[in-house]
Amino acid sequence: MLNPKWLATFEHLVKTRSFTKTASQLFMTQPGVSQHVKKLEAELGENLIYREGKQFELTHAGSMLADFIANQKLQHHAFLAQLKADDAHRGAIKVACSGTMAMKLYPLLLDLQCEHPALSVSLEAAPVERIRHMLMSNDIDIGISTQRIDHPAIEEKEIGQEHLAVVVPSSHEIKEDIYASLAELGMVIHPDGKHYADLVLGRNFPERYQGVDSIKQAGYINQLAQILLPVAQGLGFTVLPASVIEQFEHVDKLKQLPLEIAISQPLFLSQKKHRKLPHRYTRVLELIHHAIATTK
């Protein structure tokens, strides 16, 4: 990196076109000014000026260096202006969350972007480990997960609860022995299915439930919006956040199974410690809380 003091001396020399004036303005000697120019020339391996008596002219390399210094100053001022100008209606919104929350939050964020087109929304549905990685690499500014990240560089707080439900076909008759009926029907598995089933079935049927592997598998699907299709067609049951059921097109073909113990899981909002969010996230946080308030 070129020495900033040498560059400042050269910048003044270009402006004044005089070694005497430059030395006077910078409280240096004329030999000191010449020494700074020579050090720059040695560093760059190029002549920067050529003398004509008491006058001098810039070489091609000298003109390029003068332009470089001017551009650096412009970039510096532009950066400071951008740093201070935190527009609440401009910039990137980068969020990662569970698939369930994405279904609720994404339409709200798109409405916000339609209202303020200078905003740019990036939303990724991701598991907690992916959210942690994206926060640490600064690929997102906010994460919403159903499990704690527990990383010293990340701060997180619980912002709500998400109710979990056992969903069965509305046409299916659930007998008095609820667990036996579920086992006979079989479970439609999905990426979070084991976690949800362990929480709900493990609490409600602790003496009989021995993990999803002990229940007949009625199918597998990894697309959140498609998980309820086989259930609606009577092919099995599944365990999902209740809010997913509410958004399903054929909700009349489903029913939630009443359980003795209602199970909810916490929702955590996470962000990088000591990294202040831009003003545009004030509205985003309001939308997140709104989405959670309707996620029961």
* Residues 45-80: b if buried by 16+ CB within 10 A, e if exposed: eeebbeeeeeebebeebbeebbeebeeeeeeeeeee
Cα–Cα distance for residue pair 248/119, rounded to 1 Å: 29
Q: Considering only CA atoms, which of 43, 45, 55, 50 is closest in space to residue 6?
A: 43
Domain termination site, one of 84, 112, 132 = 84
pLDDT at residue number 189: 93
Question: Is 124 in the same domain as 169?
Answer: no
Radius of gyration (C-alpha) of the chain in whole angstroms = 32
Range of the domain at 176: 162-263
Please give the model's pTM, rounded to 2 decimal places.
0.64
Structure-derived torsion over alpha carbons of residues 55, 57, 63, 65, reported in degrees to the nearest 10:
-50
Q: Using CB atoms within 10 A of its CB, is residue 4 exposed (0-12), middle (13-18) or buried (19+)?
A: exposed
The residues pairing with 144 across neighbouring beta strands, listed in sequence order, are 97, 269
If asked whether residues 171 and 256 sit together in one domain, one would say yes
Hey, what are 290's tokens? 């709104």
pLDDT at 275: 83
Cα separations in angstroms, 187 against 79, 98, 149, 162: 56, 21, 29, 21
Q: So what's the pLDDT on residue 85? A: 64
- Which residues of the chain have a pLDDT value below 50? none
From 51, 84, 117, the end of a domain falls on 84
Same structural domain for residues 121 and 167? Answer: no
CATH code for the domain in which residue 56 is found: 1.10.10.10
**What's the pLDDT at 42?**
92
Give the pLDDT confidence score for residue 245 in this predicted structure: 84
CB atoms within 10 A of CB 108: 17
137 and 283 inside one domain = yes
Q: What is the pLDDT of residue 53?
A: 74
Region of residue 27 (left: phi > 0; alpha: psi -120 to 50; beta: else): left
What pLDDT does residue 296 have?
A: 53
Q: Are residues 69 and 102 in the same domain?
A: no
Cα angle: 197, vertex 201, 204; to 5 degrees: 155
97 and 243 belong to one structural domain:
no
What per-residue confidence (pLDDT) applies to 2? Answer: 85
Tally of domains in the chain:
3
Check which CATH number belongs to the domain holding 237 and give it.
3.40.190.10
Looking at 56, 84, 112, which one is the last position of a domain? 84
